[in-house]
Amino acid sequence: MDDHRQFLATVAVEAGALLREKLNDHHTVQYKGEINLVTEADRLSETLIMERIRGSFPGHDILTEESPETTNGSGFRWIVDPLDGTTNYAHGYPVFCVSVALEVAGEIRLGAVYNPMLEELFTAEKGAGAFLNGSRIAVSRTADLNKGLLATGFPYDIREDRNNNMNYFMALAMNAQAVRRAGSAALDLAYVAAGRFDGFWELKLMPWDTAAGWLLVTEAGGVVTDLSGGSYGLRSPHMLAGNGIINNEMLRILSKTDPLYIP
């Protein structure tokens, strides 16, 4: 996997540099929903990554956020979010990342999340650990949820669907030290892997949001499940990730919260 590992890191950094360079440009914004947007920078980053993949691995499949899936019947599939944190980016708020993962025969084997504003490259390989700029990282050892810093996000249909995470946010905010909502699930997961966040949960995520971050957390010693504590998979709509120590307490609180409650 050496060639794939080096390629994944290189293309994530290259796409991130493009995004950093264009952050303060005037952005052309299109709307996929009332508050779900896409910028020309999303498409430029995606085009760059897809061109690099097709040039180096022409037979591989590609699943990316803004284009139809490429299916060649390969056992290799690249899962790409060319710009996670688009709303932040469109407003010039410098919290966003590039996320790239490689799935081999149905298993995520490699993942990279790159934060271009801090020049932080988070990488992971199945069975080989997780790293930040080449140095090994590990999840936190926080054992008391009351002292834990958590992260979450809200779905794009927050205005239409009652299952919108507001209830879970309130419940966990009352039981943790604090909850952050930065606007990039992939970056949140990378920060769980690095021990900056103790836990994370979110609803209605897509494979490109979670593929690389999921591997980062587990390779850093953390635990990832669905919101009921069951096995997590790329098609699972909801995720809970943490250091493995506070996970059960987070799950206990979520299980006691009416999923359809709106204050």
pLDDT category, 37, cuts 50, 70, 90? low
Confidence of residue 260 (pLDDT cuts 50, 70, 90): low
Q: Note the pLDDT of residue 100.
A: 98
pTM, full prediction:
0.94
Does the pLDDT value for residue 172 go beyond 50?
yes
For the chain, where do the domains classified as CATH 3.40.190.80 start and end?
145-255
Q: Among 1-5, 9-13, 91-95, 182-186, which stretch is predicted with the lowest mean pLDDT?
A: 1-5
Residue with more model confidence, 40 or 242: 242
- Interval 75-131: pLDDT, tens: 999 999 999 999 999 999 999 999 999 999 999 999 999 999 999 999 999 999 999
Position 36 pLDDT exceeds 70 = no
Mean local confidence (pLDDT), 65-84:
92
Q: Mean pLDDT over residues 34-54, rounded?
A: 85
Mean pLDDT across the chain, nearest whole number? 92
Three-state SS across 85-128? Answer: CHHHHHCCCCCCEEEEEEEECCEEEEEEEEECCCCEEEEEECCC
User: CA separation (Å) from 193 to 17, 214, 260?
Assistant: 23, 9, 30
Distance of CA 245 to the CA centre of its chain: 21
DSSP string of the chain, one letter each residue: -HHHHHHHHHHHHHHHHHHHHHTTSPPPEEESSSS-EEEHHHHHHHHHHHHHHHHH-TT-EEEESSSPPB--S-SEEEEEEEEE-HHHHHTT----EEEEEEEETTEEEEEEEEETTTTEEEEEETTTEEEETTEE--------GGG-EEEE---TTTTT-S-SSHHHHHHHHTTSSEEE--S-HHHHHHHHHTTS-SEEEESS--HHHHHHHHHHHHHTT-EEE-TTS-B--TT-S-EEEE-SSSHHHHHHHHHTS-TT---
Q: Which amino acid is at 50?
A: M
Of the options 3.40.190.80, 3.20.20.70, 3.30.70.920, 3.40.390.30, the CATH number for the domain spanning 145-255: 3.40.190.80
- Indicate the CATH number for domain 2-136: 3.30.540.10
Mean pLDDT, residues 24-30: 75
The percentage of the chain sitting over the pLDDT mark of 90, rounded to a whole number, equals 81
- How far is the C-alpha of 183 from the C-alpha of 180, rounded, in Å? 9
Mean pLDDT over 39-68 rounds to 93
Residue 262 has pLDDT above 70, yes or no: no
pLDDT value at position 263?
41
